Amino acid sequence: MSADAAPATNGAFRQEMRKVPPGEFIRPNRKTNGMGVQAEDTRICVVMVGLPARGKSLIATKVVRYLHWLSIGARTFNVGQYRRSATPNPSADFFDTTNTEGERLRKAAAEAAVADMVKWFRGGHGMVAILDATNSTKGRRKWIQERCHEHGIQTLYVESKCDDEDLIMQNILEVKTTSPDYVGQDPEVAAQDFRNRIRNYEKVYQTIDEDEFDLTYVKLIDVGKQVIINQIRDYLQSRIVYYLMNLHIKPRSIWLSRHGESMYNLDGKIGGDADISPRGEMYARKLPELVKQSAGEGRKLTVWTSTLKRTIQTARFLEFEKLEWKALDELDSGVCDGLTYAEIEERFPEDFAQRDDDKYNYRYLGGESYRDVVIRLEPIIMELERSENILIVTHQAILRCIYAYFMNVPQERSPWMEVPLHTLIKLTPKAYSTHEERLSADIPAVSTFREKGTSARIGDKERRESKTSVAS
């Protein structure tokens, strides 16, 4: 249905909206997470297993972030954080198996973490908890299994095994020296102490084996080169496992850019398949220089674009392999495609206000919501987790969803983030967060950002001035 064929009155529009299942908005049922998973029936404790410096915290952080992105309540319970309340900066000796006081304090920290996890589940706060610790002995894993069974909580053990010395040392230097345990310490001293801590754990470490055949587990060997799966029991567990199979913990970055300014941007129109403007062309020509400045000389990237002209035109000067993804096309604005926000507000004031009220779930008639976009972007996220050094040139709504995934931005806030034109964003995932850098091309562009609750007409004057500037 074209914009010209849009209903003439708001009442007619509302009538049409009622025909769009599941209603005017994609609102998750009170009893579900919006994906058909019954919250009352599912409580899973993901139990991390592995020696230090094997990427457990990174994996735990990624899983929670992924589940949040899919509207599934999740939380990490890091035993190390509980232990730090009593011993904030322990030396490697604290983790020696002969240190009875250290063993007592570490067990107390695990008990506190499990108790808080059980309380969290009882409070109905989520469906998946991650117990982040080494859990390095069969005895500790049996204790966790029994505690979870008492409270009707399923367990999924995730063991990260790695014998790659280069990768282990890289994790020690780049990740563990930024750990709260080593704040303010010399990195070399911290790295040596952490190596000694690993040796203490190695004395007692027991990998998950056939003696624990009754456990549901995933074993990730050498950063996913081999994956062993045992007794996966339900849909949500299989969903988590599939995500884990696509992960790697090697250092890498992802680069994000909107297309260059388009002719639709100058007119304030949404959607469409417009060409880039003269200033958008300037950005396209400068983008290779920005990428080189951010990624460094000689780094090979793969470029992903949407199938729409403005992204393909923007990426055409990049001398890398390019792939077009339909999944990266802009949010479908349905009958509002080709309209300005001012026109939408004038024709459909009630719907304009309701989109402001719940922008993440609001679905355009004949189009999409942000929630729809997240669902179609899931294969993109999986491929990003499998890959290294990707540059994505796409659209504002799409970048908001991808950025929200990596930066763990709440759903209600993600559709309102400002993603400026003519800016290159570099995201580097770390163990405890994602590092962000922004590099501006210093090429003027119209602002397409509208704050929640503001008039859609605010940008009109700026757009007129921008068109004058381009024409001159």
What six digits make up the tokens of 208? 């998950």
Q: In 255-269, which positions are buried (b, 16+ CB within 10 angstroms) versus exposed (e)?
A: bbbbbbbbbbbbbbb
Q: Which of 24, 193, 330, 337 is catalytic?
A: 330
Beta-carbon contacts of residue 51 (< 8 Å; ≥ 6 apart): 134, 136, 198, 201, 202, 205
CA distance 135 to 432: 19
Q: Is 259 a catalytic residue?
A: yes
Long-range contacts of 381-386 (CB under 8 A, 24+ apart): 381/66, 381/69, 381/405, 382/242, 382/243, 382/246, 383/246, 384/254, 385/62, 385/243, 385/246, 385/247, 385/248, 386/246, 386/247, 386/248
Q: Going along 330-451, which residue ranges are E strands?
A: 390-394, 423-429, 434-440
Question: Over the Cα atoms of the chain, what is R_g?
Answer: 25
Given the structure tokens 């002969």, which residue do they identify?
Answer: 98
What six digits make up the tokens of 423? 């800016």
CA distance 98 to 82: 21
Q: Is 209 a catalytic residue?
A: no
User: Which of these, 450, 401, 393, 448, lies nearest to 425 by C-alpha position?
Assistant: 393
**Would you say 365 and 13 are in contact if contact means Cβ atoms under 8 Å apart?**
yes
Q: Which of 24, 132, 193, 351 is catalytic?
A: 132
Alpha-carbon torsion angle 138, 144, 147, 149, nearest 10 = -80
Q: Which of 68, 259, 395, 422 is catalytic?
A: 259
Beta-carbon contacts of residue 255 (< 8 Å; ≥ 6 apart): 291, 294, 295, 301, 390, 391, 392, 424, 425, 426, 427
Beta-carbon contacts of residue 236 (< 8 Å; ≥ 6 apart): 37, 42, 44, 72, 127, 128
Looking at the annotation, which residues are catalytic?
132, 259, 330
